[in-house]
Structures are given as C-alpha cells and as structure tokens.
A and B are shown apart, each in its own frame.
Chain A
Amino acid sequence: MSESLIKNHNERLKVLIRKRRFWNIFLSIGILLGLIFSSKIIDINASRLLSGLPRLGDYVAQILPSLETNSLFLDSKTEGSISYWYFNLPKYLHLLFETFNMALVATIIGSLIALFLSFFAAKNTAPNSLIYFITRRTLEFFRGVPEIIFAILFVWALGIGPIAGIIAMMLHTTGSLGKLFSEVHENSDVRPREALKASGGNWFSEMKFGLLPQVLPNLISYILLRFEINIRASTILGFVGAGGIGQELYLVINFNYYEEVSAIIFLIILTVISIDILSGYLRKNIIEAE
C-alpha cells in the first residue's frame, strides 16, 4: 500500500520536473531570440563596436591633461602644472556654486510643494477620492516628463539661465517626492490620529500632531536623497542652456578645449562624491536619532 503510494508520488514528481524543464528551455530560447531580434533592430554589430572602442580611448587620452612630475606644483604659466590645467578654476568654482544653489533652491521649493500635495495624494489623508485621483495624476505628470524636456521648454520660454533649470528640477522634485511622501503617509500608524480625531481636533491638527511627527524623519531622508539626485541633474540641465557648470562643460566639449573637459568632469565627480558622503552621513544621523 505505502509502496505504491511512494511510487505514485515519484511518478507525479517526474511529470512535474519534466514540465518545469520544458518551461526552462522554452524561456531560455525565447529570451535568446528576443535578444537577437532587438539587437538587429537597434543595429548592434560586433565589428562596429570593436572598431569604435579604440576611438573611445583616443578621446579619453586627448582630454587627459599633460602633467609633468617636475613642474607639477609650479604656477599657471608653466605647462604641465596642475594650476596650468586648472587655470580657469575661479570661474569653475563660481559655476559649481551656481549649480549647487540651483539644486538647493529646486529641492527646497519642490519639497514644500510636494509636502502640501502629498496629503491629497495619500488614500488615508485625502479629503475625498476625486481630489486623490486628480493629485495623483498631476504628480505622475510632473514625474513622468523628463527634467530635460521641462528645461528645454523653460529655456525657450524664459531664456538661457539658471531659472529655467530651477523650475524644471522643482517640477520633477514635486512629482517624485509627492508620490514618495504620500506613500509614507499611507504607511503611518493610524492610532495617534485617531486620538486627535476623538478629542475633537480638526484635520489640520490631525496632520500636524498625529501624522507629521511620525513621518518627518522619513521625509527628511527622502529630501536629502533628492538633493543628491538634483545636484547631478542640474549639471546635465546646463547642456540645454539652463545655467551652472553644465553649460560651461557643454561649451568646452563643443569647442574641443580638451584639457578643460577633464578639469570640469573631475571637479563634478569630486562634488557629487562629497555631497553623497555628506548627505549619507546626515541621513544616517537623522534616522538613528529617532
């Protein structure tokens, strides 16, 4: 009796394994075919990649500065010194500061608008489902349109300069933070709010005392993360004329001022790394303090 049961069980197991094997092979072949098909469409071929790769190296070699060890720390008139490479440093620093401020202003204003809208975009805090629906879709629009498109639009409308970049980043920050904030609200504990409601508090005091104290550390953490993203974004936005160091980078690339390209890129990398470290440190402290 029990032996036939085991036999039966083994038989069924075999069928299951065979079925699974079939699906594994079927999926593998499918993925392989899909890969071949899509690479045909976007026209990747090995010979072009191989012949192109050295040129990539050429460009990198060209933009690298020609530094000489014995004149490394001499003044900016001597070729081969660091200060010759960075002769334009005061200008770069000024532009970098502009980029930094663009990101800062866009993050602050964007976060405030996002905070305001997030209450209407969370299921448990929205006054009714119509407002919820409208706010959600609005945030999706701000988040869905790439920053660079907004930047091009505002450069066209307001002229070249940082203000176009600030508005573009601000809109995108509102869209993405608004969504993240509203999800934090939705995950919050309902009990403190219930107590406020039960004591006759109105909606505003319910949000201020029942909700905000709980979610604030999370919100700040998201804002810092967004600030890092905006620092990088504001560099790119400069390419379309939205101010800051990116605009200068675009210029030197186009004019083939090779050594200046690497000088600016190194500076940007350095800035991004230090902001990342700083905000990571801040975030950690805020979360741990709670």
Chain B
Amino acid sequence: MKSLRIKNLKKKFKNTIAVNGINIEIDEGKIIGIIGRSGAGKSTLLRMINRLVDPTEGSIEFDDIKVSSIKGRALRKWRSECAMIFQQFNLVERLDVLTNVLIGSLGRNYNLLNLFGIFSKEEKINALKNLDRFDLSGIALQKAGTLSGGQQQRVAIARALMQKPRILLADEPISSLDPKNAKRVMDDMLKINREDGITIICNLHSLEVAKKYCDRLIGLSDGKVVFDGSPEALTTEISKELYDLDNE
C-alpha cells in the first residue's frame, strides 16, 4: 500500500472549481513534481495536503491518518510531519535566522517558555546543525529580511527540517529566484530527499527543472490529472498540451 492516498479530491471556491476529482497515490521517499500552468490547481492541491485549505469533497490519507478529516491537536501534529515551503519563503523578516529555524520546532515540541522566545539548548543545537547542512550557520544571527531570496528559501528548508517531517511540500519554491539560486535550492531539496528519505512533493513551473530532479511527474490541467508517469514518458505533445504552449 502506498503511504499517501488521495481519492476523488475536489475543491470548489465561490465561482471556480480549483481541483476537480484527483486520484493519486504516492510512494514514500520519492520526489514528485506537479506540473501545469498557473490556475491548474497545483497550489490548491498542495495546500489541501497539509490542510491550509479544506477539501470540499474526497479524502486524503497518510498511512492510518485520515488527513482530510482530522482536527485540533491531531491536525497540528499532521502539519508538523508534513512540512511546507513557499514561493515567497514566508520567513519572519524581523527575527534572526536562528529563531526562524527554531520556529519549525513549535509544532512538534511546544512548551510555554517558547512564547517568551525561549528555546531549549537541544533545539538550538538542532537548529544550528540544520543551518550548517546548507552552509548557513554563519548568518544565524542576521535578520532574515536582510538575506537574499535564495538564502531565505534555504533557511525555510532548514526550518522545515526542524519539524522532522516525513513529507516536504514545496509550493513553487524557485519561481522567485534567479537560475543560480534556483539550482542551489533544488540541489538542497534533492539532498534532504536522498539523505533523510523525506518524500518531496513539489509544484514546479519549469518543465526543465521538473524533468531533471523529479522521479515522477503529475500533470494537472483544469483541476484534473492529465499526466502521471516518469519524466521520460512525458512527450513533447503532452507537455505542449499541459502548458497550452505559445505555438499558436
């Protein structure tokens, strides 16, 4: 049995259907790329997996967790196991890098002292180790807002690792980065996938990047799965259809 199972998942917003009946199963330990043009429902799908958005219909299950229907403490526990990084990095810009990384531990190991900005020595060491993996420990005390986009995204990955997640959801992680930084971020994601065995589900705009890094690609169009297979199986015709390419 696959670990993440999505069945007949639908999401309706006021006037639009963002996700319209998706069925996918995902193996643990792989990098899955979700491709398609903007508005295809990629972001909504990812947000439903960690429940930033609630599904209208259908179910999401992970092992024996009924992700689509849990609430309260169980939901927060699921979110801590299912980390997320964002297109705009979503760091707290006025706090230093170390605190930003420590924030990742709040869902997993929360105590009242945290509310006063106090974290245990163990967590601090943990955070520094995670920063060090991405060569960021030198800027641990710098304010997050002063970093470049690429650095911010890698800090966000370090923050995600603090959650000790089983899955990492990445919502357009490189869309606002230049090619050099984009490569660095993708390499870092590859690294945590290969070294820690964390499943990665990644929304990508660039087909080139998706083909290079992903083990499996899922193509969405109008909220439906129109392609599901290995990068090699993605023909030029299908990708043209996926992106409605400007050959008209």
Contact = CB atoms under 8 A, between A and B. Distances in A.
**What size tier do the contact residues of chain A reach?**
20 to 34
B111 to A, nearest CB: 10
Contact of A199 (B83, B94, B115): B83
A217 B216 CA distance: 47
B44 to A, nearest CB: 14
Nearest to B165: A199
A199 B86 contact: no
A197 B75 CA distance: 10
Given A195-B86, A200-B79, A205-B110, A290 B52 contact: no
Interface string B93-119: 111000100011011101000110100
Interface residues of B, number: 32
A205 B80 contact: no
Contacts of A199: 79-80, 83-84, 103-104, 106-107, 159-160, 163
Contact of B103 (A191, A196, A214, A290): A196
B158 to A, nearest CB: 12
Given A202-B76, A205-B115, A209-B103, A197 B52 contact: yes
For the residues of A in contact with B, the DSSP-based class is helix
A290 B92 CA distance: 13
A200 B86 contact: no
A194 interface: yes
A200 B92 contact: no
B92 A197 contact: no
Nearest to B73: A202
B120 interface: no
A175 interface: no
A198 B92 contact: no
A290 to B, nearest CB: 7
B78 A200 contact: yes
Contacts of B94: 213-214, 216, 290
Interface of B: 50, 52, 76-81, 83-84, 86, 88, 90-95, 99, 103-104, 106-108, 110, 114-115, 117, 156, 159-160, 163
Interface of A: 191-192, 194-202, 204-205, 208-210, 213-214, 216, 290
14 contacts: A194-B90, A195-B159, A197-B79, A198-B79, A199-B107, A199-B160, A200-B77, A200-B81, A200-B163, A201-B103, A205-B110, A209-B106, A213-B95, A290-B94
